[in-house]
Amino acid sequence: MSKMPTAVNLFVVKVPDIDTIGLFTRCSGLEIRVDVLEYAEGGNNEFVHQLPGQVSYPNLILERGLTNEDAVLQWFNATRTQAQLKEVTVTFQTHTQQPIRTFTFGDAFPVRWTGPSSQAGASTIALETLEIAHSGLKGM
């Protein structure tokens, strides 16, 4: 019995003025959190009111195998001394390049790049990671 090849989904990251930053195989941080504020009403011992508080968005963390593309490092170097807040789009697409969903993040800028950590003779893939801070999802 032959094994079916594993389909690889990709995350395409685009930044205005730079266009495509690259294709990434892993993305985390697609999340919205709402803090819950608890308010105990005097004289009411039956329950505590729960009210929506501040909304927060974790940083996006994108990972891929190391490539010779330098758009990631160019963007990172351009924002080292002064953040250039951009509207970043992350499109989740199938291995056949069919887009499934696009997310747009406002006021985004790179805050961390991690290069590969590997050793000679190792059978692991050299990975690079890009972390992007932002002010939240747009168009929601």
- For residue 80, name the pLDDT band (cuts at 50, 70, 90): confident
Indicate the SS3 state at residue 121. Answer: coil
Q: What domains appear along the chain, each with residue ranges and CATH number?
A: 10-133 (2.30.110.20)
Tens digit of each residue's pLDDT (9 = 90 or more) over 11-58: 999 998 887 888 899 999 999 999 999 999 888 888 899 999 999 999
* Summary count for the chain: helices (H), strands (E): 1, 9
Nearest to 89 by CA among 103, 73, 79, 71: 103
The residue-averaged pLDDT of 79-88 equals 85
pTM for this one? 0.82
